């Protein structure tokens, strides 16, 4: 009986390893991988330490929503670079397909010359590591996922979109700014916040700090000013006037 139980436990462990992958979560180290991309081989996250990374996936090449997102990301690439952030795309396909797609995008009337790397993930190895394969959606295509990864390789935000919904690039940029503001100024950002709006001070964590609170606002809901100039002087970007 003991031998039988040992065998069953072994089978369960094997199935767990092969079928169930623990998805990366906010606050965890981004899963490591080595891959070829349209800009050459990379070792992730080692090659990107010191920069923020926007890692985003697509269901497949040559699809209309994906194409529109590639163009939109490329048109904002300089804005991301000013924020010390690098774009890194992924689609379940081979380099040859990615290159043909990039070439086709460059020839569209409203197209763009795609400069950010796109990962060769024909075997879905990276997509599975990052939980980008959702069986209910497809067993062979990545969902539209976005991972915001900080300069130390820690995952700071995760977004998932269905295949039919294109992403809002301005919102991804706003989210990146908000995370950097939180890090630099030790504040939080309220709903619908944009650079230049009021930010939220941390709530008191001790009785002593609570008693020191003064002002007209509630102790747990206190705003303060943080100018756009102050923000972008600290996170390496000058005032752009963009919201």
User: Over the stretch 104-114, which tens digit does the pLDDT of each residue have?
Assistant: 999 999 999 99
Which sign does the torsion angle of CA 78, 234, 152, 158 carry? negative
Interval 196-217 mean pLDDT: 83
What pLDDT was estimated at residue 71? 98
Residues 100 and 158 in one domain: yes
Give the separation between CA 92 and CA 145, rounded to whole angstroms: 13
56 belongs to a structural domain = yes
Which one is catalytic: 54, 66, 83, 102? 66
Q: Which pLDDT tens digit goes with each residue over 44-88?
A: 999 999 999 999 998 889 999 999 999 999 999 999 999 999 999
Q: Is the per-residue pLDDT at 14 higher than 70?
A: no
Residues 161 and 190 in one domain: no
Check if 66 is active-site: yes
Domain carrying residue 88: 22-165
116 belongs to a structural domain = yes
* Chain mean pLDDT for the chain: 86
Please give the share of the chain, as a percent, with pLDDT higher than 90.
66
What pLDDT was estimated at residue 236? 59
Q: Which of 165, 190, 207 finishes a domain? A: 165
Q: Which pLDDT tens digit goes with each residue over 138-192?
A: 555 667 899 999 999 999 999 998 888 999 999 999 999 999 999 999 999 999 9
Residues 105 and 221 in one domain: no
CATH of the domain at 59: 3.40.30.10
Report the greatest alpha carbon distance in the chain: 72
Give the separation between CA 113 and CA 105, rounded to whole angstroms: 7
What pLDDT was estimated at residue 211? 75
Residues 158 and 198 in one domain: no
Report the domain count for the chain: 2
150 belongs to a structural domain = yes
Strand partners, 158: 147
Residues 95 and 153 in one domain: yes
């Amino acid at each position: 009986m003991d031998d039988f139980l040992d065998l069953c436990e072994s089978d369960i462990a094997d199935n767990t390893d092969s079928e169930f992958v623990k998805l990366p979560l906010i606050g965890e180290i981004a899963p490591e991988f080595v891959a070829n991309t349209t800009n050459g081989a990379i070792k992730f996250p080692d090659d990107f330490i010191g920069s923020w990374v926007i890692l985003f996936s697509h269901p497949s090449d040559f699809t209309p929503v994906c194409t529109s997102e590639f163009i939109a990301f490329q048109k904002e690439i300089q804005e991301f670079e000013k924020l010390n952030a690098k774009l890194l795309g992924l689609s379940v396909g081979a380099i040859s397909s990615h290159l043909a797609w990039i070439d086709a995008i460059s020839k569209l009337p409203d197209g763009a010359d795609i400069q950010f790397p796109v990962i060769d993930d024909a075997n879905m190895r990276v997509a599975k590591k990052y939980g980008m394969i959702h069986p209910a959606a497809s067993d062979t295509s990545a969902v539209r996922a976005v991972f915001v990864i900080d300069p130390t390789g820690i995952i700071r935000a995760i977004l998932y979109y269905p295949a039919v919904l294109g992403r809002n690039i301005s919102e991804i940029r706003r989210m990146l700014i908000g995370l950097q503001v939180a890090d630099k100024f030790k504040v939080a950002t309220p709903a619908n916040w944009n650079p230049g709006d009021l930010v939220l001070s941390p709530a008191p964590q001790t009785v002593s700090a609570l008693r020191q609170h003064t002002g007209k606002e509630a102790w747990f809901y206190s705003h303060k000013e943080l100018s756009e100039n102050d923000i972008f002087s600290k996170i390496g970007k000058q005032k752009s006037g963009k919201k």
